[in-house]
Amino acid sequence: MLYVVLFLMVVFAIASIQTNSLRHAVIYLCVFSLLCSFAYVLYQAPDVAMAEAVIGCTLSTVLYLVAIKKYRVFRVYYSGHVTLLEKQPEFNVLKNNLTTMMDNFLREHELELDLIDTKETFDEIHGHHDYDVIVEHDNKGITMFGSQSNYLYDGLVTYLIEHNAFDIDYEYIFEEEGDELL
């Protein structure tokens, strides 16, 4: 019986790491914690089993779910500075296509797109706002900026390259030493 529980612990630990859905990962971690608790019972340590059941299964699951709920929004600042009137229709089409593609990518990752239209410059947004991606759209084209520490930015760039019909320049924002990413 103990070997079955230990084997299932390994299976659920691997499943929680390999799954693409955060909610499934939380469920797998909860089952893993219950299996750990049961293993402690089999090892005749009921006090440790109770602590594992309370802390590992209950409290950590609630904390994971709260964290997932809190970070479901992906904030994109879209700075449009197209001044040529003949480029305005193209600007609107490109913006709609890019927004649709970003929304499709984020839905796959269980996130909601929070698109903020602004006339502020990159430096103003970078210095004063909390963002995940900054998109600058001017007469020259579209440039996307994202933090090197944001793993979703890499995925978004890859997704847009694979599914994109128009050219977008991609740049990484390298945070200076001492900057706080809150």
Tokens of 87: 């480029």
Quickly tell me which residue has 């499943």 as its tokens.
15
Residue 107 dihedral angles phi and psi, to the nearest 5°: -65, -35
Please say if the pLDDT value at position 2 is more than 80.
Answer: yes
pTM of the model: 0.57
Domain boundaries, the chain: 2-69, 72-173
**Residues contacting residue 130 through CB under 8 Å, at least 6 positions apart:** 75, 182
Report, as an integer, the average pLDDT of 72-88.
79
For the segment 103-142, what is each residue's pLDDT rounded down to a tens digit?
999 988 878 888 998 888 888 888 888 888 998 888 777 8
Please say if the pLDDT value at position 88 is more than 80.
Answer: no
Q: Is 131 helix (H, G, I), strand (E, B) or coil?
A: coil
Q: Is 20 helix (H, G, I), strand (E, B) or coil?
A: coil
Element (H, E) at 4: helix 2-18
Please say if the pLDDT value at position 182 is more than 60.
Answer: no
- Half-sphere exposure in the Cβ direction for 76 (13 Å, CA): 25
Return d(Cα 28, Cα 61) in angstroms, integer: 10
Quickly tell me which residue has 């402690």 as its tokens.
40
The class that CATH gives domain 72-173 is alpha beta
Residue 178 has what pLDDT?
41
For the segment 28-79, what is each residue's pLDDT rounded down to a tens digit?
999 999 999 999 999 999 999 999 999 988 888 888 888 777 667 889 999 8
